[in-house]
Structure 1
């Protein structure tokens, strides 16, 4: 292998010399000193740099080395230095040629020749390995980043060969999209045989309405028709958001109604979504039949909204629980020909999954001939679920518009500025359909919805379940008119409320105290890009490498979610949940055979029906009479009030101990959605992050210690002392983590209500009295649930013969409802 000598400047009259056989580490590193003699420039000495102790190479040996070299090369020398070096070489009939080397390698005494494909950095070319080292060094300066995040940056470095642009990603602003782009999900490339509306076997009245909107079905709709939609086939439709799933249910349900096959139920998980569908269906199909709505309307009346709530309507939109309540109360629900269950992946929801599972079984029992249409955007095991739901699978994995996904590493202090930057850019774009780009921002708490919205200098609004119906409706209408560039929300929008946004920004990948699941993430990203409005959709994930939860950093979570597949829907619930469903089933059937058929139809019913009946009989919730099974009054109360079995026993035990009905109600469900108005200021003063929720254990532990209170000014000390005196004073061994503070605060809300305050007035009162904030919708929802719990307490008190307690519970519920 040939030998080369590379020389570079070192000090005034000294040069570094590197004998090499190949690029990389030299055979040794020498420091050559020159001297001017009578015969010209000659080597004075050659010092060989060693790890422990340097040594000297005889000058004659160095000259022999120069003569043996295949080439002598110089790099980085000033003209005067190069002249002196070449004069020395000429004395031995030698010469050199110039080369360019990676300067960063030279600083580590390695030799790497520059090539055109090297990495650009600060006006020069450096090798890829040095560029990666510099990148790691810059990352360490900016803060911690996970291995996945660094690998992402390195892959972009290899692709762009521009270290400066990659380092710029660590302080993101106006970054070129080719740097932030994670991937692009293309628009549909699956060929589906086209279906013209005109050729469908639909009632002419429905066909005319559809032809005003479209001439041809979208691909998933065409697949559904090919799979027997208009022939009465029950189906599970799994397809991305904005692919047209809802219309599948509409075509089946409205057509069945017009052909005399029965009425349509369209069931959704959220009241906001039900309200929106009700308005849409009234507009589209109001001329064909009566459109009604059944939702859990508030007992605390704030407005005079006129809605048709008749169960005799031809098309009924409702929430799961509202329709289930109808069944559990034994009201007639006859003549149903179509049942559409939207967002059916809610079957795996920890709180509501078993109730949806039971509702489907009960509807099948009440309407055995009905066509069932189940809709979802994210199910990881669709074949299994379709088989268990006894529905033909219609699966379509492609989007109607392409979706560009971008990942940006951003600290918490940078995110709001980036939201404003990207939302403004998106709003400036106008699609070929004539619509401006609008943005949905997902964050992890209701309070942050308001904080982010207020920080933006562009038109924006918060949207979450803590707002009242009127407040949410106002945001929806302003967004639909294009008046808002941004709506900032929590997971409320993931379940399908229709905001036609072209861009979704994830300000946080956490929802509450947990990371998003892949299915939740996919649901949320599916809100970007609607075919009737936009040419494409865009996802912006703002991941903070410094934010960590449950031992996982946010940038690592980002890679997991962006690269993940939808999880399997696993329907499983405990014995208490199964007993509640058995009691609910007994509201519409009394034979063990029918109860077994309903139990067997449920996906998550793991206990044998006979065993559950035995357990309910044993606990006094059911009785067997003459070969039939029926609920006892207590069992029926559990079913009609949607009580957990253990909560029913809690009510019973407290009533036996003569507890006050209000005390029982706030024990069942205390109000905990109160926030410190000055949490940020507290955090600064105390030098520790104070959670915003006032009654979280961490808040109580941090804020109300004597050491913390001593650090505050007098006004803050007075507020917190008053708060502690009123709500934290109890004799429990584990105070203040015993639950008493939340229960006392809940009773304070009731006290405000009985003074005639509406939710807005209560919110103002707790702000003035305790420097706490609470959202009007949260207060409204809590008072509504409290009255329903009082109803349950009153009914169970009557069953137990505690008539005074029953009267007190009913009267208090009425006073809370009517206070004005």
Structure 2
């Protein structure tokens, strides 16, 4: 085996010696001291460095060693040091050769020869292991990071061969995109032959409407047509956002309208999305003589709102799931007349814990009532499309590609750095103009309505908050400003992802949470799909701002969640209902049919009905919710109240029990639903005063536990202390064993909202009153929505009171309802 001696500088006339037979640890480490003689430079002494006591190598032995070596290698010597060493070697007919080694290894008395895979760090090249060690040191200085995050950084290190650039990620500003890029999701392939609009088998009037703007369909639309869309086939269309799914529903629905096959129902999960589609369809299809209406549940609170057409005689009815289901539950299904097409957008909402069973029931009821209608189900995120398609009795149209490529970037950033980065990336995006002539605009997703406002206010560029807590006119104004290019950024909540239809080129994730829970892969993909529209942009861009030190439910850090979401697959739709929910849907199905056989057929088409229909009927009869007479199944008055008021079975029984105990209707109604969407104002100042990071929501357990403690209040100044003391006195004075987590604070606060309303205050005035009395933020739209739901729940209390013969309670509920509804008159 070859023997090498590596020589490096030590002190002025001293050198370090590393005899070795291979890279790594030398045979020993020595210190060579030279002296100048009349014959030139000669070795004076050679000290062998050891842990306990150094030894000296005899000079003759040293000379034998260097003569026996295959090569003497130098690294880092100055010119004079090199000359002196070579002068000494010349005396023994030896020479040296200069090489590069890893200086970081040298500091630990290891030798690693410089190779092509060395990593640049500061002004030198170091070996890969040392570079990784330095990177991990930097990670430990910066804070906690998961193994996935470290793996990501090491991958970037090997890709760039530059530790300086990778370490720049810890100060995330003006970073080169190749460092932050996680991956690129490519654009559509060309394997699907585009169907030309002129060749479509649709009404010529509809074809004429399309032709000026498009000559051929997008790939998923072409695939849908090839699989029988215009032949009336029922379809489940699973394709990424912005691939053109909505138009598939429109082609079927409008064509069926024009051919007198019946009206189109276009159903969506959110009011915001229903409003957008209503405006779009009204403008787009009125030239064809088609009338569009909307069913979202009209507000019971009188405001200067936009007048909406809610007629059931319209050719196109856009509605929320519940808005249309209300028509069925009220026995008005015949008023819909002939239905030609039913489009269910965001059908993956079937798995929603709170609303999924009602969507499931709505679909089953519509399939039973309109068996000849064409059903089109749309979704961007279903993990088991084949199974879902089979259950819905549809042809599956699955398309995995996007119309424009999607660049996904991951940036590690602390919470206090995120707003600056949002401004930076949104500003850069707006400076770009696509080949279609559109500026780049951004959607920022965060996890609370309060943060929508705080983020928007912190940005020094044109931006606006957008969430369900705003009133319809407020949201519509934001939509119009964005459409005109007057806004660079819209800041919205993850909860409204399905209702955001802004033509944005960039989506920035300020948070990977929805409320207090991390996003699912399906939700994340739904949101990222909002970036890049083929009619506007050449590509979409995703920017994930991930804080490695942000932890939440499940013990995962935000950085760990980022890797799980970026690399994950969409979850399967797996629907399971408990017995009371199955009973509720079985009772609701009596609005379509009273035949036990037909009810069994309806139930059999539902995803979540697992209990046999006869058993559900018998249980409902036993509980006084259904009757069986001459083979007919009918809802009892209490069962009917459950159906028409969208009550859970347990809630109906709770109302009955409370009325029996003479609990006032206002207390029963507040128990059905509380108003808890209140937020601290000046959250940063509050956190600083009490020395703890406080959640923004007032009624979160952490807030109730920490903020309103005597210790925290004692740290506040007089003004702040006064308002928080008032809150404690008014809402935290119960003697429950588990106070303040007993629900009493939320119920008392909800009654305060109603009290403000009974004083004649509008939603906007209630918002100001809460701010003035308690220094808390609430939103006009949230107040309006709660008052609406309070009135509807009070309707249920009123009806059940009448059913039970509780005339005094019924009168009290009716009077209260009238006062809340007409408080401003």
TM-score by length of 2: 0.98
Measured after TM superposition, the shift of residue 334 of structure 1 is: 2.3
Measured after TM superposition, the shift of residue 167 of structure 1 is: 0.6
Q: Secondary structure in 1 aligned to 2:719? A: helix
Q: 1:651 aligned to 2:651?
A: no
Measured after TM superposition, the shift of residue 38 of structure 1 is: 5.3
Choose which of 727, 730, 741 in structure 1 pairs with 2:745. 741
Q: 1:312 aligned to 2:331?
A: no
Separation of aligned partners in 2, 1:730 and 1:720: 16
Measured after TM superposition, the shift of residue 653 of structure 1 is: 0.6
Separation of aligned partners in 2, 1:539 and 1:250: 29
Matches within 5 A, 1:48-63: 48-63=48-63
Measured after TM superposition, the shift of residue 190 of structure 1 is: 4.3
Choose which of 710, 716, 720 in structure 2 pairs with 1:716. 720
Contact 1:67/1:94, CA 8 A, preserved across alignment: yes
Measured after TM superposition, the shift of residue 553 of structure 1 is: 1.2
Per-residue CA deviations over 1:487-518 (Å, capped at 9, x if unaligned) read: 00012442143200000001111111111100
Matching residue of 2:26: 26
Separation of aligned partners in 1, 2:759 and 2:36: 103
Q: Secondary structure in 2 aligned to 1:205? A: helix
Contact 2:272/2:499, CA 8 A, preserved across alignment: no
Matching residue of 2:365: 362
Separation of aligned partners in 2, 1:353 and 1:764: 36
Matching residue of 1:206: 206
Matching residue of 1:260: 260
Cα distance change on mapping 1:577 and 1:52 into 2, 3 Å: farther
Matching residue of 1:165: 165
Measured after TM superposition, the shift of residue 41 of structure 1 is: 3.2
Choose which of 343, 347, 351 in structure 2 pairs with 1:348. 351
Per-residue CA deviations over 1:565-600 (Å, capped at 9, x if unaligned) read: 111111212111111101100122111101100000
Q: Secondary structure in 1 aligned to 2:212? A: helix
Per-residue CA deviations over 1:702-737 (Å, capped at 9, x if unaligned) read: 122222222222222222222111111122222222
Contact 1:463/1:488, CA 8 A, preserved across alignment: yes
Measured after TM superposition, the shift of residue 241 of structure 1 is: 0.7
Q: 1:45 aligned to 2:45?
A: yes
Separation of aligned partners in 2, 1:451 and 1:346: 30
Matching residue of 2:538: 535
Cα distance change on mapping 1:318 and 1:263 into 2, 3 Å: same
Measured after TM superposition, the shift of residue 39 of structure 1 is: 4.8
Measured after TM superposition, the shift of residue 194 of structure 1 is: 2.1
Matching residue of 2:795: 791
Per-residue CA deviations over 1:92-151 (Å, capped at 9, x if unaligned) read: 222222222221111111112223442122222111221111111122222222111111
Separation of aligned partners in 1, 2:87 and 2:389: 86
Matching residue of 2:561: 557
Cα distance change on mapping 1:567 and 1:202 into 2, 3 Å: same
Once structures 1 and 2 are overlaid, which stretch shifts more, 42-51 or 583-592? Answer: 42-51
Matching residue of 1:289: 290
Q: 1:546 aligned to 2:549?
A: yes
CA RMSD after TM alignment: 1.3
* Residue-pair matches, total: 820
Matching residue of 1:135: 135
Matching residue of 2:710: 706
Matches within 5 A, 1:110-259: 110-259=110-259
Separation of aligned partners in 2, 1:93 and 1:369: 101
Matches within 5 A, 1:414-493: 414-493=417-496
Cα distance change on mapping 1:648 and 1:780 into 2, 3 Å: same
Matching residue of 2:94: 94
Measured after TM superposition, the shift of residue 699 of structure 1 is: 1.0
Matching residue of 1:586: 590
Separation of aligned partners in 2, 1:493 and 1:426: 23
Contact 2:301/2:788, CA 8 A, preserved across alignment: yes
Contact 2:357/2:608, CA 8 A, preserved across alignment: yes
Separation of aligned partners in 2, 1:810 and 1:161: 74
Contact 1:276/1:497, CA 8 A, preserved across alignment: no
Matching residue of 1:497: 500
Per-residue CA deviations over 1:3-40 (Å, capped at 9, x if unaligned) read: 11111111232211001112222121112223345554
Contact 1:301/1:817, CA 8 A, preserved across alignment: yes
Contact 1:334/1:367, CA 8 A, preserved across alignment: no
Once structures 1 and 2 are overlaid, which stretch shifts more, 173-182 or 679-688? Answer: 679-688
Separation of aligned partners in 2, 1:638 and 1:51: 84
Cα distance change on mapping 1:606 and 1:53 into 2, 3 Å: farther
Separation of aligned partners in 2, 1:562 and 1:5: 50
Separation of aligned partners in 2, 1:444 and 1:54: 64
Matching residue of 2:105: 105
Matches within 5 A, 1:596-607: 596-607=600-611
Contact 1:493/1:524, CA 8 A, preserved across alignment: no
TM-score by length of 1: 0.98
Separation of aligned partners in 2, 1:377 and 1:722: 48
Matching residue of 1:324: 325
**Structure 2 stretches of 5 or more lacking a match?**
none
Separation of aligned partners in 1, 2:373 and 2:404: 34
Q: Secondary structure in 1 aligned to 2:31? A: strand
Matching residue of 1:775: 779
Q: 1:411 aligned to 2:414?
A: yes
Measured after TM superposition, the shift of residue 50 of structure 1 is: 2.7
Per-residue CA deviations over 1:172-199 (Å, capped at 9, x if unaligned) read: 1111111111111111114112211111
Separation of aligned partners in 2, 1:565 and 1:151: 20
Separation of aligned partners in 2, 1:475 and 1:301: 22
Contact 2:495/2:514, CA 8 A, preserved across alignment: no
Per-residue CA deviations over 1:299-323 (Å, capped at 9, x if unaligned) read: 1121242221111111111110011
Separation of aligned partners in 2, 1:234 and 1:361: 14
Contact 2:494/2:513, CA 8 A, preserved across alignment: no
Separation of aligned partners in 2, 1:409 and 1:17: 43
Matching residue of 2:12: 12
Once structures 1 and 2 are overlaid, which stretch shifts more, 745-754 or 110-119? Answer: 110-119
Measured after TM superposition, the shift of residue 59 of structure 1 is: 2.4
Contact 2:194/2:219, CA 8 A, preserved across alignment: yes
Per-residue CA deviations over 1:258-277 (Å, capped at 9, x if unaligned) read: 11211111111111111111
Q: Secondary structure in 2 aligned to 1:548? A: coil
Q: Secondary structure in 1 aligned to 2:211? A: helix
Q: Secondary structure in 2 aligned to 1:586? A: helix
Per-residue CA deviations over 1:366-419 (Å, capped at 9, x if unaligned) read: 111111000001111000000000000001111111111111111111111111
Q: Secondary structure in 1 aligned to 2:87? A: helix
Separation of aligned partners in 2, 1:325 and 1:56: 97
Q: Secondary structure in 2 aligned to 1:650? A: helix
Q: Secondary structure in 1 aligned to 2:170? A: coil
Once structures 1 and 2 are overlaid, which stretch shifts more, 810-819 or 631-640? Answer: 810-819
Per-residue CA deviations over 1:55-102 (Å, capped at 9, x if unaligned) read: 333322221110001111221122232233223222322222222222
